[in-house]
Every structure is written in structure tokens, then in C-alpha cells.
Structure 1
Amino acid sequence: MADGCLLVVDSFEGPMPQTRFVLSKALALGLKPIVVINKIDKPSARPDAVVNEVFDLLVALDAPESALDFPVVYASGREGWATVDRAKTEEGKRPKDLLELFYAIVDHIPEPYAEGSSRGAAAGFKSREEALANPLQIMVTAILYSDYVGRIAVGRVTAGRIRPSMPVMLINRSGEQFKQRTLEVEVFEALGRIKAEEVSAGDICAVIGLEHVEIGATITDIENPRPMPPVKVDEPTVTMAFRVNDSPFAGRDGKFVTSRQVGERLAKELEKNVALRVEREPGAEAFQVSGRGLMHLGVLIETMRREGYELSVGKPQVILKNIDGVECEPVETLAVDCPEASQSDVMALVLSRRGELRSMDAKAGTSGWIHMEFKIPSRSLFGLRTLMLTTTRGEAVMYHNLLGYEPVKGEAPRRASGVMISGDLGQVTAYSLDRLYDRGDFFVKPGDEIYEGQVVGEHCKDNDLIINLVINKKLTNVRAAGSDDLAKIKPARQMSLEACLEYIETDELVEVTPNFIRIRKRYLTENERKRFDK
């Protein structure tokens, strides 16, 4: 829907792996970039070096010459100002608004169907008048939803005009055609939408009243239907099982707990999340959900949790591909910024997980920070973030982005430590935690309710350990010689949803409810685990 883009880059960090990814997508669509050097007020800012890095990145992505001659805007998002003049970035000379950024957009981004517009070139029109003279074409690029009117298709009018109560042809991504009639047409104004009597070529609109509409579909003229090339969606790289929550605490917190409700929610998500894939596992109350990465699926799980759903999810697995008879796995570019003192530890950690160092440099000369880039299998990234933060005492910053597919490199790294498993149902007591403080780190605190088979901590050794955390101290009427020692309890380790997904092994699940996130064994009792391990 755009003719240009703002490439926002940190004035110290420079282009990151995700910058390369989104910029490659923008260039593939023919968008003209305006480079915005943000956080220019940082003491460690190095804008000249960052501009050179952006230029090198554009060259590496084989950008056209028009994109290489990019305008540069210096900005501070926190203070709310922007300027195209480097001299005005100094204290006391800075502007008070973003007007210069807006003027840069007007001056450098071509309007629809003007010379240099990617939209006009892609559609084959040399002018807006030529686009208006052609039959209606709209590519649906987003789906909104209303409880009153259902799905709302959002897209840019590529050719022709669209009006309320107008008969149209809807062509989905599979090529199926459906005769429809629009109910209302709206245009966007500020942060809302207003009704319009007509929307013509070059404008973005929301179309109400169409059934079976999906992202990538074409709304076109009913007498001369012409589908547009479908939007290319990258294939999923990670998959995991979504299961009904069958723990002893199932149904306590959530409003939606059945497989039918979970399935309906996933089907609804498919309508607007085009990179998602959902398959129902035969004979089981489970769904195999695939996405673009762990964060992609993690956002979906967190959204469902906040909406009142309960479910259990399994260990993430990468999706392998067979390329020319060779089994291949996804590999990613990993960028790590860390203090110089942690450089060797970070390198040892990544290389131990089959990473390959590709580049390394010191940022801003004597800043004390090192920037390293690695190539690493996607499955080796599971659990790496937690280990990275532990190794660098929380100082490292890491980013990663899909690079491609390469032949599988051996076994995936496994968790080094075992876990502590609850053997009983009840409330955790301080007395029990105090007795077992030397066995490892706990995920629970006194007063938490636990059940048999729940993972309550990480064992200090490499084997699993069944423990009882619900024991109370026995009281007697015999007076002690001295006062009893107070229980000494280590703080519980706080585990986020993403940390739990990275932590679990194949025999474990993450139980997700509106109020709690727990790790549990797939089979709760010890006898079941022994039987299925055989």
C-alpha cells in the first residue's frame, strides 16, 4: 500500500539483522527509502559511520541506483524532533518538531502513479488517469473485524473506482470467484475511518460487506474480473503442538478450555495471520501450529492467554525441508552486542551450539562494546537468550533473522540440567524449600499451589528429581533449647512465557492460563513416565 519507506536506524547500533530483512522486502516492492538516524542525541552516537553502513547494506542487497541516493534525516524520537541538517543536531540548535521529516516525505516519496512510483510501475499504469480508466482492482492487504459487520477488507485501490452498494467480484488466493456486493466503503482519517461515497485509484480504503474475504484476495470488476498477483508469504520455520489443558488445575482460570473453543480461535487467527499454519492432529485434542519463529507463536499464545484461553503447548521444533534429496534446516543470522569483557564467553557459548562467527568489530572505537555476527541453526537458538543473559549478567543484546536453509548439522543442543518435579498436590511451604535449597533453583515460592508432575525447579545435576514441597514442620510440645532458625529461601526464578518455551524438552509441556504459566511433565505420574519411556 506504500510508495516509500522510512528506514529507522539507531545512531549507535547501526543496521541490525532485522533491518536487513525488512529492507530487502521493501526493495523487492520497489519502495524508495528515506534513512532516519534515530537517537542522535546519544553521547555515543556515530551517525557518519551508520550512514556508511546503511549504504553498504543497500549495495549488498543490490538496491537500484535511485535507492542509493537516499536522503538522511537526523531525529530524536524521545524528544520529538527531526532535521535534515547535521549542524542542527547540536544542543541549542535543535528544532522543536518533526516538520522537516514530513517535508522530506513530501519531497522525496513519489505520489501514486507519478514518475518513479513503484505502485504505478507494478500495476502497469503511467498516470492516475490511466488507472482510473481501467476496471476496478483492489488487493486486500489487511483484515479488520467488527462484531456488527464481520470482516472488513483493507487495501489500496490500484485501478478504477469503488462505491457503496456496488457489485464486485472477489477472487481469493486459490483463484475461486465469488460475486459480492459492497455494503459500505470507508477511508482512513487520522486514527479513525469515515464513510465515503467513492474511492478512486491511489487511495486506501476499507470495504465492508464482503464474505469469504481474506488477505491476498482481489476485489475486482464484476464484468471484467482481473486478479492481481498474490502476496508472497514466507513459509513457516517453527512448529509446536497446542493441546487442551488437562492438568489438575484445568478450568480454574480460563473461560475457554475445550478443544472446540481453541480450534475456533485458531481458525479466526488464520483469517488475518497469513504466515500461520494450523493442522488438527488426528485422534487427539491437539493442533499442530506453525509460524515464522518462536516469537511469532509466542505472541499468539500470549494473546490467547489474555483473552481467557487455557491450553498446553509442546516444545518448539524447526520445520525441515528436503532440498535436492538433502534434509535441510533453517539457519539464521545472529547479531550480538556485548561488553568487551564478555566477548570470549559469548563466542564460546554460540560456537558450542554450532554457530559460525562471520564478523566482529568494536563499536564507536573505545566504547567498550563488541558487535559480533554469527550464522547459526534456528534450533540452536532455543534457550540461547536465557544463557546469553546469564553469561553476560544481563548486558548482552541479541537479534536474529532467517538467512536460508542448509543441510542439517548433527543433533540439536539439549538442556544441560535436569528438573525438580513435584510428587504431591498442595501448597508450597517455606519449610520444604529451606530443606531443599541446595538441590537447585526453584520456580515456585511459599504459598503457590502445585500438583504432581509439575516442574517446580531446575536440578543442580543432569537428572530429574522428584521432591515434596508441601511438607509442614511437625510441631511438638517439647521446648527447644534455643529458638528455631528462620527459613532461608532463595528467590524464585521468574520464568516468562518465551523463557518457558525455550526451556522445555520433548517430554514436557507449558501450561498457559490467564493467571499462571507453569511447566509440567507430559505424563504427570512417575508410573506413567516410566511406562511411556520404555
Structure 2
Amino acid sequence: MFRANLYSRLSRLLVASVEVSVQRASSGFRSILPTRSLVDNFVPNSRSFSLVSGSQASSSFNSLDLQSEVPASKIRNVAIIAHVDHGKTTLVDKMLTQAGGHVPGERVMDSHALERERGITISSKYTSLQYGAYTINIVDTPGHADFGGEVERVLGMVDGAVLLVDANEGALSQTKFVLEKALRAGLSPIVVLNKVDRPGCTKERCTAVESDIFDLFASLGASDAQLDFRVLYSSARQGWAAEELPPTGEAPAAASLAPLMDSILAGVPPPPGGAPFAMLVSMLGRDPFLGRIAIGRVHAGTARVGDRLRILRHTGEREGPEAKLTKILKRVGTSDVELREASAGDIVMVAGAEHVGVADTLADPAVAENLPPGHIDPPTLSMVFSPNDSPLAGTEGNELTANKIGERLRAEAESSVSMRVSTVQESGGERFEVKARGELQLGLLIENMRREGFEFSVSPPQVVLREEGGSVLEPIEDVVIECPDVCTGTIIDSLTARKGELQEMVPVPELEGRMRLTFSAPSRGLLGFRSVFATVTRGSGVMNRAFSKYDVHRGSMDSVSKGALVSMADGKTVAFSLWNLEPRGVLFVSPGQKVYSGMIIGEHAKGGDLEVNPIKEKAKTNFRAMGTDENIRLTPPRAMTLEDAIGYVGPGELIEVTPKSVRLRKSVLDSNLRKRASRSSAR
């Protein structure tokens, strides 16, 4: 009896230790993608999706062997591409749900906190599911133009694409951008008209959208094979797709996404096999136990845990460091499954390559040439990051030094192919110029850093210009605006003053009283325009932007210089002083807020800056006061968010960013030095 109890205890301890090991192996990948238990695995089930429970899986098959034995002919790699808010992430959610996966809530692929807060996809993510005897690897891509680099880099991971288009809105600016990249990569997209369950989505509307999409394909130089695209109709929210459009507002009899899956199997070619191992790194992550994680598609060959590989730089360097594979993991549904080997067609995460970067190639030692990384459009906007040197520096954050800021920015640039970081040495110390695709991408980087405890200052955004053939070129964007027709005149005047050119003006289908305006405008003219647009349309307008090209500089813009109310003292603001300053302009601060000399506390009602004292208290006398500060009623200050500050900050100013505050300030805090510099520049 004693021996039996001892064996029972030992067996329980062994099982517990195995469970702890599995949990430790999987817990680190929460920084890459949300993880679940590693024992939930997909199993083949003809013409349907299925998932077996952990107990069934452990008794019926080994998860390591299941994934490694899928032949390349049974693998399909596909990307979901679309304009923002056309339903990409919702579609992937429903595909995983119908595959039997545990999908907690909505937007399961958007794992980052900012993605869930803003309801947008920021970085590309991948997963896989089993459809019959086939494994389908799916890559979910962002829809915003600022994250177009995420789309460009992952198209090298796939052999096909699903172009999702809102049947009510039609093809918009980012639809053109992502489609152009897919066609350039040689992909033949499957077109899915989404949101056809809406009441206004008629057959005539869908036919018109299909015609517009065909014209878009043709204008982008699609081949005959690419022009012969499949068209499906779907409702990602309801979880169905169909080859024929059902009656308006109704779902087909057998409502599922099986028609879409069948189209992927038929329209997306399998990955090529043979040749030595080669994998193009498209994404990077970091795990506290395993270190740097390289994510990408295996283009050829097979690699196993323990194999030694060489790193071929995308810059063309022949001699690169070696790597030893310590872990190979694959995304299955919402789980990370550990593999013994990775073969051609697999999209996997590998550990052991500490020195690999995005667009580099992990390859067998016999491979001499790196895989082509593909073309990435250059950044169009830059900002300079520097340590915070204001009087309030160090009071709200814990990451303050230039070294820490530089390390964080370089780490971001390693994982973002569309971002560039360079060091700027100035008399005031080390600074860092960050080039990116737009205000949103830079704003999210700044927001992430402040949440991590960083304190720093950033300069006003500047467009990245080029010189070719003696001409100065500037980035031009396509801008599509939907707004009430009563606002069109004001919007046209505003964008024309910013060197924008009206391309098209048409009514929005099925929406009475709304117009769609298409502009071609320089990026510099769009800086700060979003807040103007929101004010003009009273929040009822929609604006979408996408990079178009570099074109000849359109000349200087007529701008009305806005003056600033600049504090001339250090301390806490007083209601009495703010009440006296209200006639001078719009305030950004409230009573009891810390300010310092050189800090911008409001917008001057007239041109030019005005130095004011916001901490001056009411003079005390021996006479009985008629009232106190508690009786002073102030107009609520303008709340300046990070996005507002990026669009508002002007030349000679900085944005001070801390974990708790976003402040505007002059780059030179001393008023005498500012006046001296102003006189010098005027000469």
C-alpha cells in the first residue's frame, strides 16, 4: 500500500512538473501574440473545421508530429488585405470560431492594448487553421496607411490574398494601396464584397462596386490572369460567404465561410518545395526566456531544432553570424504549438537567431544568396526625439536618459521596416531623428513609450523631401473624405489653401445628404488638418489618407501664424490669473496645474506670442473681499491630447511627453534667449 501511494504521488508530481514546463514555454509568447494552452490542436475533418479537447488530443496524436507531417501541397498561405474598417479582423475571428477554436470575445487577433482601445490593427499577425486535410496560414494586416509597411513586408510570406471590400463604401484609398502591392508581388487576389447584409446593399450596388474594382485592377496594370478574379459576397459579422448574392438583408441557407475556404484552396497555389532551407524573416518578437523570436515563412527546405543556420543580410552582406535553432513554434488558432521541424510553406516562429533582423534570410549553410526582401515605400514624416530638459523633468517618469531613449527607438526600428532612426549630435546633447509613414504611426510610438515610463521631448513633424534632377520633390497623398454636403465648401476651401487639388466629388451611394470628395494633397498640408476637419464636420465626417507618390514641390502655403500664451513664471496656476487671461485667448491649463517659464499655456487671440503670468494671486487688502477664487467661473480649457499636440505644435516649439502629461513648450525656455535668436534669424 505504501509503495502504491508513493508511485501515485510521484506520478502526480511528474505530471505537475510537465504542466509547469509547458506553461513556462508558452507564457513568454504573450509579448508576441495572445497564447492559450498548447494541448488544444486542430485535427482534419473533411469539409468542416474541428478542434479536439486537450484530453482527446493527448491520447490521439502528438502535436509536434501533426504539424510537421503536413505536405507542402496541402498548405495554403494567404493574407487578408483591405481598407481600414472593412472587416478584416472580424473575418479572421469568424474563421477561427468556425474552426472550433476558443475565441474569447471580438478582435482576438488585435492583442495589443492600443489596438483594442482604438479598434484598429497596428501590426500584422498570423495564425493557422485546419480545413479538411489542408492547413491554411492566414495573415491579418493593418488597414491604415501609416502601417502600410506592415502590409508590404508580409506579402512575401504568402502565395495569395483575399481583398476585402465594403460593398457599401466601395474601393477607397487604402484599397488601391494594398491591391497595388499585392499585384506587384505577383499575387492573384480573391475579391470578397463584405457587409452585404446591410439594408442598402442591393444587387445594383454590388454590380457597380465590382465594376469599379475591375477598373482599379486594370489601372494598376494587372495581368490577364489577375483580372480574372473570383468574387464572393459575405457578412463577416454574421460569419458567412456565398458565391451568389442572397436577397437583401438575408443570409444564405447554409450560412458558413466554407465557400471562402474552398476558393482559397482552389485559387491560392501551394508553396514550392525542395532546395535547401531558406526562411525570410518578416516580423520580430522578444521572449523573456528564449530571447529574440524571428517570424516568417519557410520558402524552401526543412530545418529542425538544433540545426545551425547562417544569417544572410538583406543589405547583401555575404558573411553573417550563425544561428542555432533552439525552438520552433507555430500559431494554430489562438495557441502556440511547438514543432520539431519547419518545412517549406510553414509560417513559424523560431528562437536562437539573436542577430537576425527584419528582411534578413535564415538559411542552410549551403545557401549563398538571400531571399529578396521586396520593395518598401520610404517614410514620409520625421520627428526628433530628445531627453526632457524642462524644469519638471524626472517628476513623472523613470526612463529619462538619451541612452535609454535611443535603445528603445532602435528596438522599434528593428521590428518596423517602414521606420528609420538616426542619431543627431548637437551642442545640447544626443538626439534621435525618427522617420515614419505618418502622424498616426509616430503618435502610437510616442504613446507606447510614455506608457512604458519614458520622459522625452519631440519636435514638430517635418515632411521628408527629396531632390531629383535639380527639383525638390515632396510626398503626395490621396485623401478621400465623406461629409455632409453642407460642409463641402468649407472643406474644399481649407484643403485648397493647403495646396490640395480636388480630383472628384460625388454623392455617397445610399446615403442622402452626404458627399465623397477625393483630393490629391501634399503631406505637409495635411499636418494638423484632422482637428480642423473634425471641427468643420462636427465629428460627422470620415477622412482616409494613403501615400500616393513623390511629386514636384507645390510651393509655399499661405498660413495664419497662431500666437501662443507663454508662461513667464514657475509654479501652480491660479484661478484669478487664468480668469484675467481668458480674454487674451484660449487656455490649455486649469487652476492648480504646474507650469514653468517657457511653457505654452494657451493660444493667443492675435498673431505673435504673449508672455503672461498664470500664477499671480489676487492682491490682499484690509478691505472685505466681495468674492473669492472659488466664485470665479472659468471656461473649460482646451484638452490637448497627444494627437492634437502633434498637429498643433509649431516651429520653435516642442512637445513634452511624460507618463502623466502632454505639454507644449518653447524649445528655448529663456525669454531673453528666444528674443535674441529671433533677432538673429530676422537679419
1:232 match: secondary structure: coil
1:87 match: secondary structure: coil
Q: Answer whether contact 1:329 1:377 (CA < 8 A) is retained.
A: yes
Matched residues in 2 for 1:271 and 1:296: separation? 15
Distance 1:530 1:160, change over 3 A: same
Residue 360, structure 1, aligned to residue 505, structure 2: yes
Distance 1:482 1:213, change over 3 A: closer
Alpha-carbon offset, residue 404 of structure 1: 1.3
Structure 2 residue aligned with 1:13: 169
Distance 1:253 1:482, change over 3 A: closer
Q: Deviations over 1:20-50 (max 9, x none)?
A: 1111111111222222333334444443332
Matched residues in 2 for 1:507 and 1:516: separation? 20
1:32 match: secondary structure: coil
Distance 1:222 1:92, change over 3 A: closer
Matched residues in 1 for 2:361 and 2:628: separation? 79
Distance 1:229 1:423, change over 3 A: same
Residue 461, structure 1, aligned to residue 577, structure 2: no
Distance 1:95 1:442, change over 3 A: farther
Q: Answer whether contact 1:380 1:413 (CA < 8 A) is retained.
A: no
Alpha-carbon offset, residue 90 of structure 1: 2.2
Matches within 5 A, 1:68-217: 68-91=227-250, 97-113=256-272, 131-132=273-274, 134-176=275-317, 177=319, 178-217=321-360
Alpha-carbon offset, residue 433 of structure 1: 2.5
Alpha-carbon offset, residue 351 of structure 1: 0.5
Distance 1:483 1:239, change over 3 A: closer
Distance 1:249 1:482, change over 3 A: closer
TM-score for the superposition, normalised by structure 2: 0.72
Matches within 5 A, 1:500-511: 500-511=645-656
1:379 match: secondary structure: helix
Q: Which moved more, 1:339-348 or 1:24-33?
A: 24-33
1:282 match: secondary structure: strand
User: Which amino acid in the other structure matches residue 286 of structure 2?
Assistant: Y
Distance 1:346 1:157, change over 3 A: same
Matches within 5 A, 1:22-101: 22-45=178-201, 46-91=205-250, 97-101=256-260
Residue 265, structure 1, aligned to residue 408, structure 2: yes
Alpha-carbon offset, residue 335 of structure 1: 1.3
Structure 1 residue aligned with 2:135: none
1:533 match: secondary structure: helix
1:515 match: secondary structure: coil
Distance 1:340 1:198, change over 3 A: same
Among 431, 435, 438, the alignment partner of 2:576 is 431
Residue 493, structure 1, aligned to residue 638, structure 2: yes
User: Which amino acid in the other structure matches residue 164 of structure 2?
Assistant: V
Distance 1:41 1:528, change over 3 A: farther
Alpha-carbon offset, residue 264 of structure 1: 1.0
Alpha-carbon offset, residue 93 of structure 1: 5.5
Distance 1:300 1:152, change over 3 A: same
Q: In structure 1, list runs of 5 or more residues that go unmatched.
A: 114-130
Distance 1:256 1:49, change over 3 A: same
Distance 1:166 1:420, change over 3 A: same
Q: In structure 2, list runs of 5 or more residues that go unmatched.
A: 1-156
Q: Answer whether contact 1:332 1:403 (CA < 8 A) is retained.
A: yes
Q: Answer whether contact 2:465 2:472 (CA < 8 A) is retained.
A: yes
Alpha-carbon offset, residue 511 of structure 1: 0.6
Structure 2 residue aligned with 1:279: 422
Q: Which moved more, 1:506-515 or 1:216-225?
A: 216-225
Q: Deviations over 1:229-261 (max 9, x none)?
A: 233222221111111101111111111100011
Q: Deviations over 1:319-362 (max 9, x none)?
A: 11111121211111111111111111111111111111111111
Structure 1 residue aligned with 2:494: 349
Aligned length: 516
User: Which amino acid in the other structure matches residue 270 of structure 1?
Assistant: A
User: Which amino acid in the other structure matches residue 74 of structure 1?
Assistant: Y
Q: Answer whether contact 1:243 1:259 (CA < 8 A) is retained.
A: yes
Q: Deviations over 1:113-137 (max 9, x none)?
A: 4xxxxxxxxxxxxxxxxx22x1111
Among 288, 298, 301, the alignment partner of 2:446 is 301
User: Which amino acid in the other structure matches residue 68 of structure 1?
Assistant: L
Q: Answer whether contact 1:140 1:153 (CA < 8 A) is retained.
A: yes
Alpha-carbon offset, residue 83 of structure 1: 3.6
Matched residues in 2 for 1:83 and 1:70: separation? 15
Q: Deviations over 1:409-428 (max 9, x none)?
A: 22245454211112222222
Structure 1 residue aligned with 2:52: none
Among 159, 167, 180, the alignment partner of 1:3 is 159
Matches within 5 A, 1:365-514: 367-412=512-557, 414=559, 416-476=561-621, 478-479=623-624, 486-514=631-659
Q: Answer whether contact 1:88 1:94 (CA < 8 A) is retained.
A: no
Structure 2 residue aligned with 1:116: none
Residue 220, structure 1, aligned to residue 363, structure 2: yes
Q: Answer whether contact 2:190 2:229 (CA < 8 A) is retained.
A: yes
Q: Answer whether contact 2:198 2:248 (CA < 8 A) is retained.
A: no
Distance 1:441 1:170, change over 3 A: same
Structure 1 residue aligned with 2:19: none
Structure 1 residue aligned with 2:382: 239
Matched residues in 1 for 2:499 and 2:330: separation? 51
Q: Which moved more, 1:327-336 or 1:228-237?
A: 228-237
2:189 match: secondary structure: strand
Distance 1:434 1:363, change over 3 A: same
**Which structure has greater helix proportion?**
2
Matched residues in 2 for 1:224 and 1:286: separation? 40
RMSD: 2.3
Matched residues in 2 for 1:510 and 1:64: separation? 48
Distance 1:414 1:391, change over 3 A: same
Q: Deviations over 1:144-198 (max 9, x none)?
A: 2112222111111111111111122211112333333222222222223222122
Distance 1:344 1:263, change over 3 A: same
User: Which amino acid in the other structure matches residue 34 of structure 1?
Assistant: I
Q: Which moved more, 1:428-437 or 1:148-157?
A: 428-437
Structure 2 residue aligned with 1:314: 459
